[in-house]
Structure 1
Amino acid sequence: MKLIVNADDFGYSKGVNLGIVEAHVEGIVTSATMMMNMPGVEHAFRLAASTPTLGVGVHLVLTCGSPLESNVPSLTDENGSFRRGQAHLAEASAEEVEREFTAQLERFFRTGRKPTHIDSHHHVHARETILPIVLRLADRFGLPVRYPWAFEQTERSLTPQVNTTEGFSHHFYGEDLTVDGLIGIIDGLSGHATAEMMTHPAYIDEELLRGSSYAIPRTKELQILTAPEVKKYIKLKKVQLVTFNEIG
């Protein structure tokens, strides 16, 4: 099996960025996705430049921070920030969503790099009203997309084929994180030729504590993703750790 271990939220803050890079250098993380609208993004790009083995894609955002576009009222609150939650996305302007996602992707390309793939914060790309927009952009920019059919919002029959993995897991998340739990997730994906697992390793900093409801468990994720037992299991099972560039 070819396994992508992706760390979401690259660019959220320096603590998140440093945790992701350590999870790659010392652990099994192979890939990360960048939040192009967050304050740690420039720091993340500097780290990525010095860590060329880490695949880096775009973590499309509609529910955290502020938009890059200035006129997207169906997505923002009275302060100009993205609205919290996802209830409003069912009726959000498709044109505004596409402009904002395009701005986030184009900001990445202006760095001179090409993203490895597209995914999204809080899985908004898998929503029935938003997935067609993401698929159009994936086709336009020639990018793979995180497997969107693992989420309840979207039926596979409603969407065309995209370049993605055969399997995906978002279960390495929450309070009950253990080495055995991680090994079980990887084992559960082993029936697929290609698969991706979502992770959120980080060091805690003020920005993360203040802005995210999921903070302290990220340090536990970092500990597990760099655990010797996990690396030993990967080697024993001959799991190939790859990026999206290697699944085509």
Structure 2
Amino acid sequence: MTKLIINADDFGYSKGVNLGIIEAYQNGIVTSATLMTNMPGARHAAALALQNPNLGVGIHLVLDCGRPVNENVPSLINEKGDFHRANALIEVAELVDIEKEYTSQIEKFLSFGLSPTHLDSHHHLHGHEKIFPIVSKLARKYHLPVRKVSADLQHSSNIELSTVQHFIPDFYGDSLTAEHLLELIDQSLSYESAELMCHPAYIDEPLLTGSSYALQRVRELAILTDNNVRSAVAEKGVELVTYKEAFNQSFV
């Protein structure tokens, strides 16, 4: 039976995002979330996580949204103190600053009293060739799995780190349907472990004005909590789990 993690990204972005994720967990098929410790809704998300201890919560490492946690990472920020956008960031970010900021984000997560289940990142930057060696180092330091970054079995992430066999990033966009979600889940059935990424949310002002992917999240939430979807997933024989259960490990 496939162990399937359904992970909601951007936990901590805002209260609307946080409450949507909790709804998708309590009344839907979401099993896991990853928390942005640098965003305004981080403490609210952490409080909700503590109230819902069976929700797997990992760390959504951030370099290109909001502001840094560490106060001394000058190569990562613009004149306003905000992170550079992703394309500019890759060009100007110094590796020492990336490691400092990622470490600060992990330590801030731990300060909330939570035990992280895994690491992933905003806009998948943890898989970039410049950034991945830092993430790999931190994953080993904190004994954490990471979101899959390569289908190449010889990639170091698949040799040195714990990661699922299959990652599904395609539940995303302007024309999502329940049928599409179920088709994506079918892709996982030939693997022992898989992760499907999603972004459910309720709309609030910070999300509406801050993200280009806002209204679509309400549609995601509706699909992920649809009773017919829940029944169909149960009939497929997948086991909905968190990273903790998928790897049968005790984390930090």
TM-score (norm 1): 0.95
Please give the alpha-carbon distance, in whole angstroms, between the structure 2 residues aligned to 1:157 and 1:78.
41
Query: Paired residue for 1:88?
Result: 89
Q: Give the 5 Å matches for 1:228-243.
A: 228-243=227-242
Following superposition, the deviation at residue 91 of structure 1 comes to 4.4
Residue 114 of structure 1 aligns to a residue in which SS?
Answer: coil
Please give the alpha-carbon distance, in whole angstroms, between the structure 1 residues aligned to 2:105 and 2:86.
20
Query: Paired residue for 2:75?
Result: 74
Following superposition, the deviation at residue 95 of structure 1 comes to 0.6
CA deviation profile, 1:53-102 (whole Å, cap 9, x unmatched): 11101000000000011222221111110012334314421110000000
Please give the alpha-carbon distance, in whole angstroms, between the structure 1 residues aligned to 2:41 and 2:199.
15
Q: Which amino acid aligns with 1:15?
A: G
1:4 touches 1:243 (CA, 8 Å); kept in 2? yes
1:90 touches 1:129 (CA, 8 Å); kept in 2? no
- Does 2:128 align with 1:159? no
Query: Paired residue for 1:214?
Result: 213
- Does 2:21 align with 1:24? no
Please give the alpha-carbon distance, in whole angstroms, between the structure 2 residues aligned to 1:119 and 1:156.
19
Q: Which amino acid aligns with 2:232?
A: Y
Of Structure 1 and Structure 2, the greater helix share is in 2
- Does 2:169 align with 1:170? yes
Residue 119 of structure 1 aligns to a residue in which SS?
Answer: strand
Residue 76 of structure 2 aligns to a residue in which SS?
Answer: coil
Please give the alpha-carbon distance, in whole angstroms, between the structure 2 residues aligned to 1:171 and 1:111.
31
CA deviation profile, 1:136-183 (whole Å, cap 9, x unmatched): 000000100000116xxxx66452421010000100001010000000
Query: Paired residue for 1:101?
Result: 102
Number of residue equivalences: 244
Q: Which amino acid aligns with 2:244?
A: N
1:36 touches 1:104 (CA, 8 Å); kept in 2? yes
Please give the alpha-carbon distance, in whole angstroms, between the structure 1 residues aligned to 2:120 and 2:153.
17
Q: Which amino acid aligns with 1:40?
A: G
Q: Which amino acid aligns with 1:133?
A: I
Q: Which amino acid aligns with 1:159?
A: S
Query: Paired residue for 2:223?
Result: 224
Please give the alpha-carbon distance, in whole angstroms, between the structure 1 residues aligned to 2:229 and 2:215.
21
Listed as ranges, the gaps of 5+ residues in structure 2 are 248-252
Following superposition, the deviation at residue 209 of structure 1 comes to 0.7
Residue 71 of structure 2 aligns to a residue in which SS?
Answer: coil
TM-score (norm 2): 0.94
CA-based RMSD: 1.2
2:8 touches 2:30 (CA, 8 Å); kept in 1? yes
CA deviation profile, 1:3-36 (whole Å, cap 9, x unmatched): 0000000000000000000000000000000000
Query: Paired residue for 2:142?
Result: 141
Question: Percent of pairs identical after alignment?
Answer: 52
Q: Which amino acid aligns with 1:229?
A: N
Query: Paired residue for 2:40?
Result: 39
Listed as ranges, the gaps of 5+ residues in structure 1 are none
Query: Paired residue for 2:202?
Result: 203
Q: Which amino acid aligns with 1:41?
A: A
